[in-house]
Amino acid sequence: MSGMSAGRSAMRMGPAELVQAAAMARRFYLEGKSKIQIAEEFGVSRFKVARVLETALERDLVRIEIRVPAELDAERSDALRARYGLRHAVVVESPADAEETPDPENLGEVAADLLGELVNEGDVLGLAWGRSTIHMAAALDRLPPCTVVQLTGVYDAGTAERGSVEAVRRAAQVSGGDAHPIYAPMLLPDAATAQALRHQTGIARAFEYFDKVTVACVSIGSWEPGISTVHDMLSDEERAHYASLGVAAEMSAHLFDAEGRRVGRDLGERCITVKADQLRRIPEVVAIAGGQRKAAAIDAVLRSGLVTSLVTDTSAADYLMTVGSAPKSTLNRTDPDGI
């Protein structure tokens, strides 16, 4: 806010007008007083106060700046939210090596802050396997009391303590709530083995919470080595088979083509994971994914209607804002397959 130095246009106001306008603006913008309160203090009508405040803006007596942390891109965030009909979209600046580094760690840090806003006391928070969700859990420093449940098995049972199991424990520790981890691989050799594991006591207890989840955090993978854990767990023949079905993206062991339609549903029978229709019923599903190499996969999953909010980076956001035709609102939560 400036006074006599506000510019030549502001100098057209007399000094008494300038002083009064500056005082009213200070009360309104800095002290949070209402126009009625200001009017009573200065002995004028609230309409006069409104005119003075409007003139102060027009003549540069008052300057309003909207500032967000440097790493957040507010303009891209709002544009991306509107394009996909998301509830929340948060876009952060891509690191210099974004092209080679999908899901930079700063995405997890921002997602941790977002969860701190979205999770309420008594909620059930679901965490799916993914590097980004692991980074998110490590960055958590506040959560209201809530139950935390693991939504998928682990990529490698040998790394459970350093992966999604630890992420669930970390989130529960921060919130002070109960943790329900899953000590089982995400992908099993066959459907019978997967079904048997689902009935084991600890895993069955976690599965009982899937229909109670109110906020979920998931990762997205594109169908290529090192960018999708499911892709990396399959044999060459299996990868070729699913590629022939047009798979473009993977989320929580569910496969999607470029239009967001689910393909290769038989894979889910071999997986320890939350069902797609269960994800669709969760009120808030936050996806954390970024980088140019994942951009097309993010688009595909957003078109599926399973995700309500997204944390991504400028590299992926620029692609998402220009690719194809604008999709239907994800908040509609309809299945592209019509099933």
What would the two tokens of residue 43 be? 């002995």
pTM higher than the cut 0.85 = no
- Which residues lie closer than 8 Å to 40 by C-beta, 6 or more apart? none
- Which residues lie closer than 8 Å to 319 by C-beta, 6 or more apart? 292, 295, 296, 299
E-strand ranges in the chain read 88-92, 124-127, 147-150, 179-180, 215-219, 221-222, 249-251, 254-256, 262-263, 284-288, 309-313
Candidates 1.10.10, 1.20.1070, 3.40.50, 2.130.10; correct CATH number of 15-59?
1.10.10
Could you check whether 15-59 and 72-332 share the same CATH topology? no
* Domain positions in the chain: 15-59, 72-332
pLDDT tens for the chain, 339 residues: list them: 444 343 434 345 666 777 788 889 889 988 889 999 999 988 999 999 999 999 888 888 887 766 555 578 888 999 999 999 999 999 998 876 555 556 677 888 899 999 999 999 999 999 998 888 888 999 999 999 999 999 999 876 444 445 778 899 999 999 999 999 998 889 999 999 999 999 999 999 999 999 999 999 999 998 888 777 788 888 889 888 989 999 999 999 999 999 999 999 999 899 999 999 999 999 999 999 998 889 999 999 999 999 999 999 999 999 999 987 767 666 666 666 654
Candidates 3.30.230.70, 3.40.50.1360, 2.60.40.10, 3.30.300.30; correct CATH number of 72-332?
3.40.50.1360
Cβ distance 98 to 290 under 8 Å? yes
